[in-house]
Structure 1
Amino acid sequence: MPFYDSEAIERARQVDLLTYLQTCEPQELVHVSGNVYCTKTHDSLRISNGKWCWFSRGIGGYSALDYLIKVNGYSFLEAMETISGRAAIPPPSFVPAPKEEKPKNLLLPQAAPDNRAMMAYLKGRGIDQEILDYCVQTGRIYESRNKGHGNVVFVGFDKDGKARFGCLRGISEARFHGDLSGSDKQFSFALPACVENPAVHLCECAIDVMSYATLCRLDGIDWRRHNLLSLAGVYQPKKKIEESKLPVALTRFLEDHPHVKTIYLHLDNDTAGRLAAKAIMAVMPEGYRVENKPPPRGKDVNDFLCHRLGIPIRGSHSKEPER
């Protein structure tokens, strides 16, 4: 039976899990986004910033030694033998911790005395009254006015119910679009399911999300039982698609909803939308199923809704993304 002195044990404990997997089990390592990784065997085990956490089991640690014992079920001696026998493992590279970003302070504009112009505008886009009422009651939409110009304010929340994202869309012919100061696209406009649903439906903008919910109503489907998420505008992948990262809104949603494993893409029927869908399908980590389901007619989900309802399509030839 091998004997390991305190120095050998300390050296083994210095080997972080990312270094171990990159060197010894690269086939087990799956890139999620940014500096976040998971393993092929356990997709709920996340590795980031020198730490790892197996969320489904509620355990975590820092070193490869901890991982071999807690996750793979090795004895302490077996784990030591495994790490000590890997002479090729380089010493861990300590990267300075990134500067902690101050939380963004979202500045929401003052609400108008009423929502009449906003409601008329969204009804003109075909949005169902039940969905409008829900969004108003939950603070996801409201009307603001600036120098006589009316806007719809779309609001996105984090998992604790705090408003973290906001964008404006003009409801006059001026067609103003813009994100609010302090807005964080990780928490874009969404209609989360009222039950635990293993899928999410992804659209480009908030009006498309509301349009998809309306289409569900028309088909007799309970839209409240589905996760509907906006990308808060056009997603721009890298020139080399395989080098792209997932949209931040989708990454955050999947991290906050680990039970979601299926993604339905309802992106626009234009060059940008098709490219975005191709990139998302290419870089989605293993363990997820992605289905590309663009609108069957029209440029986007709202166009298809308007076609179906037989109402005019607003600005269909000059529609800009909500940024």
Structure 2
Amino acid sequence: MPYIPPEVVAKAREMDLLTYLKNYEPHELVHFGGNTYCTREHDSLKISNGKWCWFSRGIGGYSALDYLIKVKEIPFTEAVEMIMGRAAVSPPVFTPRPKEEKPKVLLLPKVDRCATHAVEYLHRRGIDYGLIEFCISTGRLYESTPYHNVVFVGMDSSGKARYANLRGIGSDFIGDANGSDKHYSFGIPAAAKSDRLHLFESAVDLLSYGTLLKLYGKDWRRDNLLSLAGVYRPKKEISESTLPAALVRYLDEYPHIRKVVLRLDNDLTGKLAAETIKTLLPRKYAVEVAVRLSPQGKDYNDCLCLKLGLPITKRKEKTRER
């Protein structure tokens, strides 16, 4: 076996995988969202913050050398020579590691002892009492004091509150609580393991869809339900856009999901968002853009209100971005 000096091996190990792929195999690199990338050959191999992990195989590492040996199964000496040879011909431009963000501290509004106003508000919009009670009992929904807003809470997989969206009762106020992490928007996982995820623009649309399922005699907890933390507005060029942070996080935490059903608003913004998400999601996900339940109405709450004969809530155009 050819001898390679230790200092050459150490030099080869300095190159991280993201730098290697960007410089020498850019066709193999796929931007998954935020600071996360995957490879075209292995979409379960995620690269983020200077590290990589091949989730489907349970292996990972830091350097490009680890990747070539463990994933590409290239012999050690050949892998070192490959990295050093390419670097000699075309010196790499190193990708700086993103600065680590300080953990956000979520400041939740105070809980009102009685959620009467919130329950009445949601029921006026057609939401089923059973869904409202479920959300209250699991800490996903409450009424704040002293302003009496409806508070939709987003949680991580351990049930810890990480995000809160406030919606005014009797007003157009919409806002996020201080310290909200948009990676953890309002969602309800399936009661039993499901490989399907339904994606909505707002928490009200999510609950409206669940109510419609109950009206049709179907199990509303059968699949995973997730709303976005505001309107998702992709960039002009789809190639420059990234996936919504909440969707990226959810798919990472629930790796068994294989189908994503897009149930976004029935307007130009919603259609563009759906097309962008469908284009950017890795090939391992089957993506469906849902057919509207009603030919009328902008979103699922409009569809629900039309079905129940309730007036559609007039509100200003949503302007918050995810």
TM-score (norm 2): 0.90
Provide the identity percentage.
55
1:300 and 2:315 equivalent? Answer: no
Distance in 2 (CA, whole Å) between partners of 1:320 and 1:13 is 48
Distance in 2 (CA, whole Å) between partners of 1:18 and 1:300 is 40
Distance in 2 (CA, whole Å) between partners of 1:242 and 1:100 is 25
Residue 158 (structure 1) shift: 1.4
Distance in 2 (CA, whole Å) between partners of 1:50 and 1:143 is 42
- The residue that corresponds to 2:249 in the other structure is 252
Distance in 1 (CA, whole Å) between partners of 2:2 and 2:157 is 49
Distance in 2 (CA, whole Å) between partners of 1:126 and 1:295 is 18
SS in 2 for 1:302: helix
Distance in 2 (CA, whole Å) between partners of 1:61 and 1:242 is 28
Are 1:199 and 1:226, in contact at CA under 8 Å, matched by a contact in 2?
yes
AA of the residue aligned to 2:214: R
- 2:210 aligns with one of 213, 220, 223: 213
Q: Which runs of 4+ in 1 moved over 6 A?
A: none
Residue 222 (structure 1) shift: 1.6
Judging changes above 3 Å, is the alpha-carbon distance between structure 1 residues 88 and 132 closer, same or farther for their aligned structure 2 residues? same
- The residue that corresponds to 2:13 in the other structure is 13
Distance in 1 (CA, whole Å) between partners of 2:10 and 2:116 is 68
Are 1:118 and 1:151, in contact at CA under 8 Å, matched by a contact in 2?
yes
- Output aligned runs, 1:1-323, within 5 Å: 1-86=1-86, 87-91=88-92, 93=94, 95=96, 97-146=97-146, 149-172=147-170, 174-293=171-290, 295-297=292-294, 298-315=297-314, 318=316, 320=318
Judging changes above 3 Å, is the alpha-carbon distance between structure 1 residues 313 and 24 closer, same or farther for their aligned structure 2 residues? same
Distance in 1 (CA, whole Å) between partners of 2:25 and 2:117 is 59
Are 1:31 and 1:285, in contact at CA under 8 Å, matched by a contact in 2?
no
Distance in 2 (CA, whole Å) between partners of 1:314 and 1:35 is 38
Unmatched tracts of structure 2, length 5 or more: none
AA of the residue aligned to 2:278: M
SS in 2 for 1:225: coil
Are 1:12 and 1:80, in contact at CA under 8 Å, matched by a contact in 2?
yes
AA of the residue aligned to 1:250: L
Unmatched tracts of structure 1, length 5 or more: none
Residue 102 (structure 1) shift: 1.9
Are 1:186 and 1:252, in contact at CA under 8 Å, matched by a contact in 2?
yes
Residue 288 (structure 1) shift: 2.3
CA RMSD of aligned residues (A): 2.2
- 1:65-114 deviations in whole A, cap 9, x for unaligned? 2112222223323323433443435246262x443322222111112221
Residue 293 (structure 1) shift: 1.4
Residue 257 (structure 1) shift: 1.7
Judging changes above 3 Å, is the alpha-carbon distance between structure 1 residues 305 and 76 closer, same or farther for their aligned structure 2 residues? same
Distance in 2 (CA, whole Å) between partners of 1:94 and 1:233 is 31
SS in 2 for 1:11: helix
Range moving further from structure 2, 17-26 or 58-67: 17-26
